[in-house]
Amino acid sequence: MDIIYLHDLRIECIIGIWEWERRIKQTVILDLDMAADIRRAAATDRIDDTINYKAVAKRLIDYVGHSEFQLVETMAEKVAEILLAEFGLQWVRVRINKKGAVRGAGDVGVIIERGKA
């Protein structure tokens, strides 16, 4: 299995359960590991034969940026669904970091792995 990754994608969005969180945008940080067979792209040297990580980033910046989830768990699940459905992936690992959500912790968030059935 080959992995195309996109890490440290920072997106401003409404996220959280507390009233004050519903009034401001916060930064979430996404790390994506996406399974793809890149042999064809390596042979043709064509972007159309691989996962275009710029297209992935643009799609998620738009989607997450307009979202208003309460839980990062829900956000992670929806991001995984988009990646599997729209980008033809067989498997994805989504890590969402809600930096600063817990005082004294450098990072806090979720990591999920999803694949096509």
In sequence order, the β-bridge partners of residue 112 are 94
pTM strictly above 0.85 = yes
Average pLDDT value for residue range 52-70: 97
Q: How does pLDDT run across 81-115, given as a tens digit for each residue?
A: 999 999 989 999 999 999 877 677 778 899 999 99
Give the phi and the psi of residue 71 in degrees, each rounded to 5.
-115, 140
| Catalytic residue selected from 58, 98, 99, 116 | 98
Alpha-carbon distance 23 to 31, whole Å?
25
Count the alpha carbons within 13 Å of 107 in the hemisphere toward its beta carbon: 10
Query: Under CATH, what is the fold of the domain 2-102?
Result: GTP Cyclohydrolase I, domain 2 (3.30.1130)
Alpha-carbon distance 117 to 83, whole Å?
14
Beta strands across the sheet bearing 26-36: 68-69, 2-15, 26-36, 91-97, 109-115
Query: In the 8-state DSSP scheme, what is residue 48?
Result: G
Q: How does pLDDT run across 14-53, given as a tens digit for each residue?
A: 999 999 999 999 999 999 999 999 999 999 999 999 999 9
Count the alpha carbons within 13 Å of 112 in the hemisphere toward its beta carbon: 15
Alpha-carbon distance 21 to 72, whole Å?
13
Position 102 scores a pLDDT of 67
Identify whether 98 is a catalytic site residue. yes
Tell me the residue type at 94: V
